[in-house]
Structure 1
Amino acid sequence: MGLLTTGLPLSWEEILPYVDYIKEHGIAQFLSIYNKAKHREDNLFRWGDEIEYTIVKFDHEAKKVRVCLRGDEILKQLQAQAEVNDMMGTDNKTIWAPELCGYMIEGTPGHPYGALLACFNMVETNMIKRRKEVQKHLNEDEALMSMSFPALGALDFTYPPTKIDMKNSYGKSMWFSDEVIHQGHPRYTNLLRNINQRRGEKISINVPIFKDEKTPWPFTEEFECPEAKKNAKENHIYLDHLGFGPGCCCLQITFQTINMEEATWLYDQLAPITPIVVALSAATPIYRSYLADVDSRWDVISASADDRTAEERGIVPLKNSKFILDKARYACLSCYIHETSQPYNDIKVVYEDNILQKLIDEGVDEHVARHIAHMFIRDPIQVYKERLEQDDENATEHFETIQSSVWNNMRFKPPPSDNSSIGWRVEFRPTEVQLTDFENAAYCCFVVLLTRVIVSYNLVFVTNISTVNQNMRISQKRDAVLNEKFLFRNKLIRCEMTSDGKRKIPDKNEPSFETAEMSVNEIINGDGKEFPGLVPLIFQYLDEAETDVNTRETITQYLTFIQKRAAGEISTLAHWMRDFVQGHPKYAKDSHVPDETVYDMIKTMNEITDGTKECPKLLGDFKSKTEREVTSAVCRAEAAIVAAHEKSVVN
């Protein structure tokens, strides 16, 4: 969850005198990167995924399941093996990193995937390999699961047990101990401390509760904590700690584009897709063992990381703060960054005039400059004492400490400062993690191929940025994939290319730029009228591409799965979990999910994950055909592309 650096982390009080200094040098570092890389051409599309996992421990005798705080221990074992592989000259197929909570671990492929379609044969296999690598270090009663744990904050939800200390802890939570936070790196505890200190009070999250037949109504809870009494809303599940947000797992996908212009274009065009994918991947319907009236975690994470002061939230008049900020630092994006998208920036963004002007004066594209300046209204919350003084021409930490702690649904990522092979990138961030490797591979396949369709056909999906924000709110509603409508372009539009090779969007007022209320099914599969559907567009692209039979079969399985989930023929995980709970004999139809119900549900989910239990309602009857390695022909083709690129760079 952001930049990992060694050193002594500073508290918010210690950071405060350096805020302007860090921002000044963060901008200088961005300018250094920008000037080095603004004309960079890579010609190599690369991509990779990040999956966050939860480690759980079953108590079969008591029919209780808990999160298992062995993440750091297992991570060290995995990283030790990676070091041995490096010494032996053995290729590491996976990379492991810590996450916010001690029961979490993050896995990525050892190398990015390439542009060739045959790479999709590897994706699921690599995910299976990741899972098996961790499983080798688990005890018999433990499991690695790609899901968000539904009983976070419930009584006795951790193993080993953790102590609640509202008085002396940083989080001051009634349910979530700071001991649950990952202890192997000081970043995470310090992040918790500084978010609360900057905010001036502890975190407050309210999630609408699902009203069942016997749910007490109005639903209220009795709290002794004064802040809880003040902040808890009627008919809501109240949460009060950073861990309730980033303690939920997700799937993120990063793409390397050929240049900066394509990165800004792709960033904008994917933004309206993000709410659709949130609804399509919904997987988080239970919080603190209560059924919620939402299916996704996005707003919960946003509230959990909200470091805005009371002044910035508009609760009291501005006195010490500079701006009223409409959003937390974890939120849906507020502006597009490609020149052609500017007519659709209908949300006023705040920024410091001097920062924006400096960026423009130094030659940064005006629209990228506005995005960076808007991002820099946020204060740094993760600073290390030893890293205060840096060489702005070669270091990036002052820039990254803000860039990496502004968590939007899309992220625009400049290259590193060194002369690495990494270019301009775009990160697609909103997807809910899925239960099985097949599902996670399917979502990756869908999003990655959609980027190829957008770039190849120069498709336009941008709508008013306020519409994207509205759709993001709608996307989290219960069964949004089945019941909600989203404002989306109902006609297929391509941008025009000018004589100098730049993209140009036709006039905004043309009828072809109308939006309509569309269901997820209509957006994914087509409306039967003018909009063909995102997946049919991908199939059209595949028909025009060179694809071997095995690759086409693999991709078809993934895309057909996405189509069936969009059509409601296959349940989202959120819908499946609701059905399981409501059909369980221990559930009293009062919105509270008993321990035994949670145990039986997660035990069943684990059996589905490892393939010992079939679940057509969740997965259909799909069986993907994946390969452990890319064929030698594919490797040679990739090598030829790399060699051609390196030759062009030298020349």
Structure 2
Amino acid sequence: MGLLSLGTPLPWEQTREYAEHVRTEGIEQLIKMFKAAYARTGDGYLWGDEVEYTLVKFDHGRGLALLSIDKDSVLADLNEGGSLAQLSVDNDLNFHPEYGRFMLEATPLAPYNGDSLENYLYVERNMNSRRSVAQTAIADGTIKPLTITVYPLMGINTFTFPSAVANGEASQSLFLPDEIINRHARFPTLTANIRKRRGEKVAINVPLYKDTNTLSIDESIPKGRSLFKHDEEPELGAALPGHIYMDSMGFGMGCSCLQVTVQAPNLNRARYLYDSWANFAPLFLALTAAAPVFKGHLADQDVRWNVISGAVDDRTAYERDVKPLHSDGAFGGMTDEAKARAQKIPKSRYDGIDSFLGDIQNDFAKDGEAVFKYFSPELNDISPPINERTLQRLAQEPQFDPVLARHFAHLYVRDPIVIFEERIHQDNDDETDHFENIQSTNWQTLRFKPPTQQATPDNKSVPGWRVEFRTMEIQLTDFENAAFSIFIVLLGQAILATDSNWYIPISKIEDNMKRAHHRDAVLKDKFHFKADISSPAFDTVELSLDEIVNGCDSFIGLMALVKKHLESRFGITGDDLSPKGTHARIYYYLELISKRASGELPTAAKFIRRFLLDHKDYQHDSKITARMNYDLLNTLNSISELGEDVRQLLGDDIGNYLINNPKA
């Protein structure tokens, strides 16, 4: 989760004094990174995935499933110097900290080779090993590392083991104890600094699912607490009627997701892949929907994205262009100098991308003019705010054409949220922490990842130009997570090979992100899509996810594109992609995605919602009881272990195949 350094994180009152220093030096680091790696080319299609786990403790005797917040020591055990470090290495695994003490993040130790078919078949096995090794490290059979997007009872009554009380100084939350936050000093400081900069606690309002006995007010909000100044904010308007109100970073950053990063051959191709993937980000958010419940209430949406967006929204009332909750709070915790140049910022730092990078075809540094194949500046039609100082500085460097410079200038409207005292002064020739301080806390649907200063054309030992696909929700089984990861990566490879025109206006992609949040968007919504990927025009049509994935009269479909790519790149024919073919596993990966898009198989969100609505204890009031939570998570654990319940989610064909063939 972003930049994690050793040292002493500064509170906001000190961090803000160095904000301009970090921005200025960060851009100098970026310039040196570009100068070093600008001419780098010929890199292989390497890639990796990130899977996040939620540690759930089952008390079967009492019918409880609680968040485990006392097993975070497993991270130290599994990493260098730890008692189980060799087990991680032997299984080609790397474990990382996440925001919550109840969370683990795991990746392959080394990147996969996207040009090797065997590596695609290895992905699920690696994911199997991550779950198995995590379970070994936990050393408690009552605690399970589940791949769930959101824990349903987060913030309701006693929901952790050991129990903890919501009275912490860092979050000042009415619902979440600080004991859920990672012990590394960065995380509580990040939580507090977001609140201090904003001048208010974050206010997340998710539309409440309306049932026959559902009340329009959130009864879980405690009344009369006066522990902190911000305790009164729900009554001042932070909590909206008809919504689930959440007030802390943990509600968002406690969600889990599935992310994929690929390395492109060079800078220009990375920019093209970034732009081409842009509209798939909202589509695959909807396809992987897995979050229909927050803070013990059913939501009238199916995904996590806007919850995380609100959870890290450090913008002041002035920047959000709203009336402040407190009379003196328009500019929050900004310095007088920062107030003088403050501007309206329409979106949180965790949101959709705001501009394309442009599919540049030439060497701008040499020619002094950018030549694009398909891209046109008119496609960047939402005019995001920019940091003029950053734009002017980058304009002086030949490696940055105006479109690329504006991308970074937009990222740099943000302040650094956490600065480490020991890292204030850095060597810009070799270090990147100041750049990453801003870059890694712009959590957008895609992330363009420049190489470091060490990534010179002749040094292939360090990564090159990369793009991260960030929207997918974590799925319940390793099979599903492998399927979606592999599909996105194969789609990216097919895009690079076919060089089609996927551009539509950014405003249409922005609208698609809103539609992707809707309940049952897979079946009920249509999405803006390129009318003709062979045409230089930017005309759009509205298609369902079934039509986009499985094809229709106007579009061949992503599934057909990926299958054609498998044949042309790897020699896999239709006979190979069958239940009894030589590549049955890949066949079932594709079947999963095809049937999810058609609605034949439910999303995890639809499955979870249906389970809760049908539960014998449900009172048609949109509320989740402790017993409902236990029964749900017990079933989800069974599914993750490919027990008999897996058929309920994945259907008889895929379910029976997995029960009989649990290992990839």
TM-score between the two structures when normalised by the length of structure 1:
0.90
- Give the Cα separation in 2 of the matches to 1:627 and 1:436: 11
- 2:390 corresponds in structure 1 to 355
Return closer, same or farther for 1:262/1:589 CA change in 2, 3 Å cut-off: same
From 531, 545, 554, the equivalent of 2:555 is 531
Letter in structure 2 aligned against 1:426: V
Within the alignment, does 1:459 sit opposite 2:459 as a pair?
A: no
Return closer, same or farther for 1:361/1:570 CA change in 2, 3 Å cut-off: same
1:26 CA displacement: 0.3
Within the alignment, does 1:491 sit opposite 2:532 as a pair?
A: yes
Return closer, same or farther for 1:81/1:582 CA change in 2, 3 Å cut-off: farther
- Give the Cα separation in 2 of the matches to 1:320 and 1:603: 54
1:82 CA displacement: 6.8
Q: Contact conserved, 1:295 with 1:478, CA < 8 A, in 2?
A: yes
Q: Percent identity?
A: 38
- 1:154 corresponds in structure 2 to 156
Please state whether the residue corresponding to 1:545 is helix, strand or coil.
helix
Deviations 1:318-346 (A, max 9, x none): 75551100001101110001144333100
Within the alignment, does 1:541 sit opposite 2:582 as a pair?
A: no
Q: Contact conserved, 1:125 with 1:626, CA < 8 A, in 2?
A: no
- 2:543 corresponds in structure 1 to 518
Q: Contact conserved, 1:124 with 1:626, CA < 8 A, in 2?
A: no
Deviations 1:201-221 (A, max 9, x none): 111110000011221246666
Written as runs of structure 1 = structure 2, the 5 A alignment for 1:254-265 is 254-265=261-272
Within the alignment, does 1:382 sit opposite 2:418 as a pair?
A: yes
Which runs of 5 or more structure 1 residues have no equivalent in the other structure? 495-505, 630-651
1:75 CA displacement: 1.0
Q: Greater CA deviation, 414-423 or 430-439?
A: 414-423
Within the alignment, does 1:93 sit opposite 2:92 as a pair?
A: yes
Within the alignment, does 1:24 sit opposite 2:24 as a pair?
A: yes
- Give the Cα separation in 2 of the matches to 1:362 and 1:320: 28
Q: Contact conserved, 1:117 with 1:547, CA < 8 A, in 2?
A: no
Q: Contact conserved, 2:91 with 2:129, CA < 8 A, in 1?
A: no
- 1:344 corresponds in structure 2 to 379
Q: How many pairs align?
A: 608
Return closer, same or farther for 1:82/1:452 CA change in 2, 3 Å cut-off: farther
Return closer, same or farther for 1:255/1:90 CA change in 2, 3 Å cut-off: closer
- 2:431 corresponds in structure 1 to 395
- Give the Cα separation in 2 of the matches to 1:477 and 1:132: 35
Within the alignment, does 1:324 sit opposite 2:368 as a pair?
A: no
Deviations 1:299-331 (A, max 9, x none): 000000000011111125775551100001101
Q: Contact conserved, 1:126 with 1:628, CA < 8 A, in 2?
A: no
Q: Contact conserved, 1:121 with 1:626, CA < 8 A, in 2?
A: no
From 287, 303, 311, the equivalent of 2:310 is 303
Return closer, same or farther for 1:606/1:568 CA change in 2, 3 Å cut-off: same
Please state whether the residue corresponding to 2:55 is helix, strand or coil.
strand
Q: Contact conserved, 1:492 with 1:530, CA < 8 A, in 2?
A: no
From 557, 561, 572, the equivalent of 2:603 is 572
- 1:240 corresponds in structure 2 to 247
1:542 CA displacement: 1.5
- Give the Cα separation in 2 of the matches to 1:570 and 1:20: 50
Return closer, same or farther for 1:312/1:85 CA change in 2, 3 Å cut-off: closer
1:197 CA displacement: 0.9
Letter in structure 2 aligned against 1:38: Y
Please state whether the residue corresponding to 2:317 is helix, strand or coil.
coil
- Give the Cα separation in 2 of the matches to 1:82 and 1:448: 33
Please state whether the residue corresponding to 2:583 is helix, strand or coil.
helix
Please state whether the residue corresponding to 1:593 is helix, strand or coil.
coil
Letter in structure 1 aligned against 2:145: L
- 1:423 corresponds in structure 2 to 464
Deviations 1:574-606 (A, max 9, x none): 000011001110111110011100100100110
Q: Greater CA deviation, 609-618 or 235-244?
A: 609-618
Return closer, same or farther for 1:355/1:441 CA change in 2, 3 Å cut-off: same
- Give the Cα separation in 2 of the matches to 1:71 and 1:343: 51
Q: Contact conserved, 2:56 with 2:68, CA < 8 A, in 1?
A: yes
- Give the Cα separation in 1 of the matches to 2:611 and 2:91: 39
- 1:117 corresponds in structure 2 to 117
Please state whether the residue corresponding to 2:73 is helix, strand or coil.
helix
Q: Contact conserved, 1:117 with 1:551, CA < 8 A, in 2?
A: no
- 2:588 corresponds in structure 1 to 557
Q: Contact conserved, 1:311 with 1:321, CA < 8 A, in 2?
A: no
- 1:210 corresponds in structure 2 to 209
Please state whether the residue corresponding to 2:261 is helix, strand or coil.
strand
1:460 CA displacement: 1.9
From 637, 642, 645, the equivalent of 1:614 is 645
Q: Contact conserved, 2:78 with 2:88, CA < 8 A, in 1?
A: no
Return closer, same or farther for 1:288/1:514 CA change in 2, 3 Å cut-off: same
Deviations 1:589-633 (A, max 9, x none): 11001110010010011011112223324112323699989xxxx
Within the alignment, does 1:14 sit opposite 2:34 as a pair?
A: no
1:417 CA displacement: 2.5
- Give the Cα separation in 1 of the matches to 2:121 and 2:81: 26
Q: Contact conserved, 1:220 with 1:236, CA < 8 A, in 2?
A: no
From 160, 166, 173, the equivalent of 1:164 is 166
From 334, 348, 354, the equivalent of 1:334 is 354
Deviations 1:268-309 (A, max 9, x none): 110101111011000001001100001000000000000001
- Give the Cα separation in 1 of the matches to 2:89 and 2:53: 25
Letter in structure 2 aligned against 1:277: F
- Give the Cα separation in 2 of the matches to 1:423 and 1:219: 48
Deviations 1:478-529 (A, max 9, x none): 00011011111132326xxxxxxxxxxx3x4xxxx321111111111112x1
- Give the Cα separation in 1 of the matches to 2:382 and 2:144: 45
Q: Greater CA deviation, 337-346 or 601-610?
A: 337-346
- Give the Cα separation in 2 of the matches to 1:291 and 1:575: 11
1:169 CA displacement: 1.2
- Give the Cα separation in 2 of the matches to 1:110 and 1:390: 28
- 1:641 corresponds in structure 2 to none
Q: Contact conserved, 1:570 with 1:617, CA < 8 A, in 2?
A: no
Letter in structure 1 aligned against 2:210: K
- Give the Cα separation in 1 of the matches to 2:128 and 2:19: 44
Return closer, same or farther for 1:524/1:90 CA change in 2, 3 Å cut-off: closer
- 2:41 corresponds in structure 1 to 41
- Give the Cα separation in 1 of the matches to 2:532 and 2:636: 40
1:83 CA displacement: 7.7
Deviations 1:146-173 (A, max 9, x none): 00211110110101111221xx612111
Q: Contact conserved, 1:293 with 1:477, CA < 8 A, in 2?
A: yes
Q: Greater CA deviation, 331-340 or 155-164?
A: 331-340
Q: Contact conserved, 2:48 with 2:262, CA < 8 A, in 1?
A: yes
Return closer, same or farther for 1:77/1:597 CA change in 2, 3 Å cut-off: same
Q: Greater CA deviation, 601-610 or 545-554?
A: 545-554
Q: Contact conserved, 2:79 with 2:85, CA < 8 A, in 1?
A: no
1:553 CA displacement: 2.7
TM-score between the two structures when normalised by the length of structure 2:
0.88
- 1:66 corresponds in structure 2 to 66
- Give the Cα separation in 2 of the matches to 1:219 and 1:5: 39
RMSD: 2.0
From 272, 275, 282, the equivalent of 1:275 is 282
From 408, 412, 415, the equivalent of 2:444 is 408
Letter in structure 2 aligned against 1:212: D
Deviations 1:524-561 (A, max 9, x none): 1112x120111111111122223465773322211111
- Give the Cα separation in 1 of the matches to 2:645 and 2:299: 27
Q: Contact conserved, 2:548 with 2:557, CA < 8 A, in 1?
A: yes
1:21 CA displacement: 1.1
- 1:144 corresponds in structure 2 to 145
- 1:590 corresponds in structure 2 to 621
Deviations 1:443-488 (A, max 9, x none): 0111001001111110222211011111001101100011011111
Letter in structure 1 aligned against 2:357: I
- 1:649 corresponds in structure 2 to none
Within the alignment, does 1:188 sit opposite 2:187 as a pair?
A: yes
Q: Contact conserved, 2:59 with 2:65, CA < 8 A, in 1?
A: yes
